[in-house]
Structure 1
Amino acid sequence: MKKLKIFSIALFVFGTATYAQDLDQAKKAIDAEQYEKAKKILKGLVATKPESGKNYFILGNLYLTQKLQDSATITYQKGLAAKAEADFNYIGLGQIDLENGNAAGASSNFDKAVANIKKKDFEELMYIGKAYLNPTKPDYKKALEYLNKAKAVQPMNAEVSLYLGDAYYGDKNINEAYSAYRNAADADKNLLRASLQQGAITKSAKAFTEAKAIFDKILAANPNYGPAYRELAETYYVWGLNDKAKYTEYNTTAIQYYEKYMAMTDYSLDSRMRHADFLVLTKDYKALEAEATAMQKLDKVNPRILRYLGYSAYQNGNSDAAIKALDEFLAKPNVKMIGRDYLYLGLAKTQKALTMGTDAEGKPTGTVDKVLFDNGVADIKKGVELDPGMANELNDFGKKFFDLKLYKEASAIYEIAVTNPNSRNFLYDNFYLGYALYFDNAKAEKPNVTDIQKANAAFDAVIKSSPTTQDAYIYKARLNSLLMDDMAARAEMAKYYEEYIRVVTEKGETELAKPANKTKFVEAYNNIAIHYAKLGDKVKARENVDKALAINPADETALSTQKMIKG
């Protein structure tokens, strides 16, 4: 009997150790972003150790990571019936409350989770702190409150320090975040996530060489740690944005590292989604279309796949497929729409409207389908309203219409682009807005006064941003010359012709000697002369005519104005 008792105790200890090891393996798989592997381990633990509530809790958390809230809820509710550690599942349910905006419900569930904890218990406090970090709208202050309580109980725990780093980082306290991550790495050399986050902070400071060294060191310790490859990919991507000369090279390297990251994961739908997001960033739309098609075979109902199909179809020149996919995506209930969704839908519609205005050989006829175009513009506007950064992507698209002399359509695109004063193309978009409105009204039988006002404002914005952009002055003058019967507009015309002359003159003899500027000077002097002649000021009129004739003695407009003044 004594031997049997010893054997039973040994078996119990062995079983407990195996269980702990399995749970540890599941956590390591989650950390390595191998979610399907982790899910398989955790489902096995739930089946073989149903008395442990923590198994359900960790599995529920994994479902939440994968945005599977219904599965998470069911798992937490089952976990509440477990004999041991069931209260952890209240934390999971509280996290779902936070995601759904139910702060009171979350607080109630968290209170239940800690109602029976002992003095040395810290995990419940730690996981509540982490729960405040995970929702779409994190509460970093609350997270810090609970994590610091956990730290007071277990000051040297690596996991507590790791999550403290996450909370400080989210709260924009970079120094404390870095210190917490360093403490976590010192406490547990195998906790590679802590070092990874130190590298992420270094990358965000644009210290790309130093960040790369940190990620390389992690991979030297564990060549199979996938997240380090992902961070290297993202480092090279941002590095390329900051080093235009090496953009193509670094972008290619970024994609290669991301492929290595994918090879280290289990190609789950979640990792494929992250891959697709990265392909959008790096503009590899051929690969995005292939990835989206592969994901659709795995999951025909996930709406995000339609987003990727829509994006890639538009970028790969298939407007019809883009419109179909994005219309279907946006019609799905409860999807979280972003600016790019509407931007690409609008661009696809306006592109199709342009394509419809072509002849049998595919050459532009100078017309577009107005209804479809206007519908597309409304979508583009909605996209920029949701995310003003989308205005950065309209410059080249507007130029496509401008180059086809579809000035009204081009101005509609640029009018949306200039709503974001922080756009990197703000100056050029304003210039082309004014430019397009001028040309559209120059060919009109009767200029549109509202268009003239918009164009004036656009050229004013260019002049404010870049006072030496001489063409902004002359086009503002030409714009107002379209309203010659309006004395105020004519005065603006004369003023900006004079400003154009001043700006060019201040640039020196080299600029003055250019033939194009000499021609424009003659134009300016002639129009200023006509303005003063209509005012009855023959002295100033004659003065400007003489300046025009000094440049080109045979200019017909100057000679005609000269005769009018003498008459």
Structure 2
Amino acid sequence: MNKFKILSVAFLASVSVTQAQDINQAKKAIDAEQFENAKSTLKSIIKTNPAEGTAFFLLGNVYLIQNIADSAKMTYQNGLTAKDHAHLNQIGLGQIDLDNGDVVAAKAKFELAKKEMRKKDFEEYVYIARAYMNASKPDYKSAIQTLNLAKERSGQEAQVQLALGDAFYGEKNQNEAYAAYRNAFQADNSMIRAKMQLGVLLKGAKAYTEAVTAYNDVIAISPNYGPIYRELAETYYYWAANVPGRYDQYIKEALSYYEKYMALTDYSLASRMRHADFLILAKDYKALEVEANKMKEIDAVNPRIYRYLGYSAYENGNVDLAIKSLNDFIANPSNKVIAQDYLYLGLAKIKKGTSADGATINPALFNEGVASIKKAVEMEEYIANDLNEVATKLYGQKMYKEAAALLEIAVTNVESKNYLIDNFYLGTSIYFANANVTADQKPDFVALQKADTALGNLITGSPTTQDAYIYRARVNGLLEKPAMMIQYYEEFIKVVTANGAEELAKSSTKAKLIEAYNTIAANSSDTVKAKEYFAKTLAIDPANKFATESLKSLK
């Protein structure tokens, strides 16, 4: 009987060691972003030993990473019944509370988890800190406060230092983040992620050459560590965006590295969705369409697939499929709709409602498109950056009212990279839409006032842009404000003169100067001033009929 007891204890010990190894294997798979592998390992542990609460917690975490919140919640709840480490699942449920905006409930669950900690335990603090960081609205300050408690117990522990690095990085504290990542790798040189994050810091500082060198150092140590290739892909993507001359070369590199990342992680639906998100960033819509259709084969009812189908269909010229896919996606109340969904739906409707040459338009469909785009910019102001290309195409087709409708939305974001040029196009599109109205029509004074404001915004931001003044003068002429009209013509003359002889010699500039001189003269009650300005016209164009005839009448 004693021998049997000894053998039983030995057997249980070996099972415990084996499962600890399996848990560590799952943790390594999660770190390597091999999420399907991790799920398989954790489900196997739960099946053979449902008393292991850590397995439930880690599985729930993977579900959250993959945005499967319902499965995560169910897994955490089941984990609360486990015999060992059940309290970790309170942390997972706390993160779900944070995602739902219920901070009070989250903190209550975190406190329940803390109550089960022993004197030297620190992992709970790390997990709570990561819950704060991984929440839909990250709270890096609370994460740092929590990790400071972990430091009191085990300050040199690599996991604590890695988490601190991530928290400081989220706080945009580059120096503290660098020190923490360095300390983490020094404490445990098998912690490849910590070394990788040193390169991520360089990427964030736009030191792309140095970042790539840092990543290559990581590859030399661990060539099969998948996340390093994702970081390389993202680095080359940002590099491409910042060096337009090498865009095609660097985007090709980015896509190649992302394919390698996929090969070293998995081709699950969740991974394919991450790939699809990257293809959108890289604007490889042909590849996006292929990926979307592959995802459809895996799970035809997954709603996010309709997003990818909608985006790729629009970019590849199939506006009917784009409208249908995005309408289906947005109509589902359980979907998390983002600004880009409304942007693409709006663009698709505008494209469908406008003939290729701009000669005909479906006003109802166009207005629906504008309404969707307005909703997109209300959700995310940065979307305003994407309107310039479409608006200027309409402008080029002389669809001035339609261009103005988009540009009016675009200029609501004063931080947009196109803010000044969009104001120029807004002001001039409204001017052109009203410049040639028939005798029985009246200009749209409300719209013209918007044009005046837009051109004023341009002048404030770029006071040497001479055309802003002449168009503002023309707009004020249509507004029947002669004093303001003359003021802006005079300012145009000053700016052109200040720009030097080379500018004054241009034929286009001469034509605008003649317009300014003649208009100022014609609207002046001062005969001497009028003669002076007509004389300036004749100095440029001695045969100018308007100036010649006007001077005769003044005599």
Q: TM-score range by the shorter chain?
A: over 0.9
Determine the C-alpha separation between the residues in 2 that align with 1:280 and 1:155: 41
Counterpart for residue 292 of structure 2: 292
1:337 alignment counterpart:
337
Mark the CA change 1:519 to 1:107 in structure 2 (over 3 Å): closer, same or farther: closer
* Residue 467 (1) aligns with residue 467 (2): no
Letter of the structure 1 residue corresponding to residue 476 of structure 2: N
Establish whether residue 565 from structure 1 lines up as the match of residue 554 from structure 2.
yes
Alignment of 1:395-410 (within 5 A): 395-410=388-403
Cα distance in 1 for residues equivalent to 2:323 and 2:402 = 20
Pairwise mapping of residues 73-222 of structure 1 onto structure 2 (< 5 A)? 73-222=73-222
Give the share of equivalent positions with the same residue, in percent: 55
Rounded Cα–Cα distance in structure 2 between residues aligned with 1:106 and 1:419 = 37
CA drift at 1:481: 2.8
1:32-431 aligned at under 5 Å gives the runs 32-355=32-355, 363-365=357-359, 367-431=360-424
1:458 corresponds, among 451, 454, 459, to: 454
Cα deviation, residue 284, structure 1: 0.8
Taking the aligned partners of 1:482 and 1:111, their CA distance within structure 2 comes to 68
- Count of residue pairs brought into register by the alignment: 552
What's the CA shift for 1:513?
A: 2.2
Asked if structure 2 preserves the Cα contact closer than 8 Å seen for 1:33 and 1:271, the reply is no
Gaps of 5+ in 2: none
Code of the aligned partner of 2:227 = P
Deviation of residue 28 (structure 1)? Answer: 0.9
1:326-374 CA deviation, whole Å, 9 max, x = no partner? 111111114333222211111111111113xxxxxx6442x31111111
The superposition leaves residues 233-286 of structure 1 with CA deviations (integer Å, 9 ceiling, x where unpaired) of 111111122222222211111111111111111111221121111111111111
In structure 2, the residue matched to 1:359 is: none
CA pair 525-184 structure 1, distance change in 2 beyond 3 A: same
Contact 1:236 1:251 in 2 (8 A): yes
Q: Which ranges of structure 1 fall in alignment gaps of 5 or more residues?
A: 356-361
1:443 to 428, 436, 449: 436
Compute the displacement of 1:21 (Å).
1.4
Task: Give the Cα separation in 2 of the matches to 1:142 and 1:121.
Answer: 19
| 1: CA distance, partners of 2:505 / 2:155 | 76
Q: 1:508–1:146: structure 2 CA closer, same or farther, 3 Å change rule?
A: closer
Distance 1:88 1:282 in 2: 39
CA–CA distance in structure 1, aligned partners of residues 202 and 49 of structure 2: 42
Counterpart code for 2:241: L
Q: Which amino acid aligns with 2:462?
A: S
SS of 1:447's equivalent? coil
- Kept in 1, the 8 Å contact 2:168–2:177? The answer is yes
* 2:532 corresponds to: 543
Paired residue type of 1:327 = N
When residues 140 and 519 of structure 1 are mapped into structure 2, their CA distance, relative to the original with a 3 A threshold, is closer
- Give 1:9 shift: 4.4
Alpha-carbon distance, 1:430 to partner = 1.1
Contact 2:51 2:83 in 1 (8 A): yes
Partner SS state of residue 424, structure 1: coil
Helix, strand or coil: the match of 2:523?
Answer: helix
Residues 564 and 336 of structure 1: is their aligned pair in 2 closer, same or farther, counting only changes over 3 Å? farther
1:79-131 CA distance string (max 9 Å, x none): 22222222222222222222222223222222222323322222223322222
> 1:481-560 counterparts in 2 under 5 A?
481-483=477-479, 486=480, 489-532=481-524, 535=525, 537-560=526-549
Distance 2:506 2:90 in 1: 78
Q: Per-residue CA shift, 1:359-398, capped at 9, x if unaligned? A: xxx6442x31111111111111111121111111111111
Q: CA deviation at 1:505?
A: 2.0
Distance 1:440 1:58, change over 3 A: same
| 2:133 aligned partner, one-letter code | L
Counterpart CA distance in 2 for 1:482 and 1:90 is 68
Counterpart contact for 1:269–1:295, Cα < 8 Å: yes
Which 4+ residue blocks in structure 1 deviate beyond 6 angstroms? none
Q: SS of the counterpart of 2:353? A: helix
Aligned residues of 1:392 and 1:417 also touching (Cα < 8 A): yes
Normalization by structure 1: what TM-score?
0.93
Q: Secondary structure of 1:349's partner?
A: helix
The 8 Å contact of residues 80 and 86 in structure 1, kept in 2 or not, is answered as: yes
| Contact persistence 1:147–1:163 (CA under 8 A) | yes
Q: Secondary structure at the match of 2:542?
A: coil
Which residue number corresponds to residue 19 of structure 2? Answer: 19
Does 163-172 or 22-31 show the bigger shift? 163-172
1:227 Cα deviation from its structure 2 partner: 0.3
> Quick one: distance in 1 between partners of 2:433 and 2:116?
75
Deviates more, 1:322-331 or 1:147-156: 147-156
C-alpha separation in 1, matches of 2:256 and 2:294: 19
**Over aligned residues, Cα RMSD in angstroms?**
1.9
User: Which of 454, 475, 481 is equivalent to 1:479?
Assistant: 475
1:414 and 1:117 map into 2 onto residues whose CA distance is: 58
Q: Which shows bigger deviation, 17-26 or 489-498? A: 489-498
Cα distance in 1 between the residues matched to 2:98 and 2:515: 67
Name the aligned partner's letter for residue 531 of structure 2.
R
Q: Aligned AA for 2:490?
A: E
Aligned to 1:358: none
On the 8 A contact 2:358/2:399 being kept in 1, the answer is no
Q: CA separation in 1, counterparts of 2:361 and 2:155?
A: 68
2: CA distance between counterparts of 1:346 and 1:322?
A: 10
CA distance in 1, matches of 2:37, 2:477: 72
Q: How big is each residue's C-alpha offset from its partner over 1:143-174, in whole Å with a ceiling of 9 and x where there is no partner?
A: 22332222322233221221122222223332
Which 10-residue stretch deviates more, 107-116 or 40-49?
Answer: 107-116
118-127 or 346-355, which deviates more? 118-127
Rate the CA distance shift 1:76–1:507 in 2: closer, same or farther, 3 A.
Answer: closer
Residues 276 and 308, structure 1, Cα contact 8 Å, conserved in 2: yes
Cα distance, 1:30 vs structure 2: 0.8
The one-letter code matched in structure 2 to 1:376 is: G
CA 29–411 in structure 1, closer or farther in 2 if over 3 Å, else same: same
The 1:156–1:525 alpha-carbon spacing in structure 2 relative to 1, beyond 3 Å, is: closer
Counterparts of 2:518 and 2:547, CA distance in 1: 6
